[in-house]
Amino acid sequence: MSGFKLPEGVDAPVMIGEFHFGALDRGPFCPGLILLRDQNHRAQTYKDYVRTSLEHPQIVGVHWHQFSDQATSGRFDGENMQVGWTDVCDTPYWETVEAIREIGARLYEIRSN
């Protein structure tokens, strides 16, 4: 997000409406749009993405795609991605949960610098 710019002359708030990262070391067999090495890489990428979003003066928020993974058999449109903070049995991806907690604890500190 550090290189993100709106077109010249546009001064408006930006909300990232949906983002996600997946890995294939656990969970369903589809990592979504962004394949990462493993859950540790996924956690680090989450922290980097949210931190740089917080550092950008025009970004007012980011929205993770969804809370839980999609079923391996697919949802109504066939999506079956490993993009949740929990798997389909509600078991957390602890690496990502810890990253969320870490960046959340520093949210106001990062934004105010």
Q: What is the pLDDT of residues 35-75, one digit of tens each?
A: 999 999 999 999 999 999 999 999 999 999 999 999 988 88
Number of domains in the chain: 1
pLDDT of residue 1: 64
Q: Is 83 within the bounds of a domain?
A: yes
User: For residues 97, 98, 100 and 104, what is the CA-based torsion angle, rounded to 10 degrees?
Assistant: 140
Q: pTM of this prediction?
A: 0.90
pLDDT of residue 13: 95
Q: Is 9 within the bounds of a domain?
A: no
Who's near 99: CB < 8 A, 6+ residues apart? Answer: 43, 44, 46, 47
Which is nearest to 91 in space by CA: 31, 13, 39, 36? Answer: 39
Q: Is 7 within the bounds of a domain?
A: no
Note whether 31 and 82 are within 8 A (CB).
yes
pLDDT of residue 87: 94
Q: Is 4 within the bounds of a domain?
A: no
Can you give the residue range of the structural domain that contains 62? 14-112
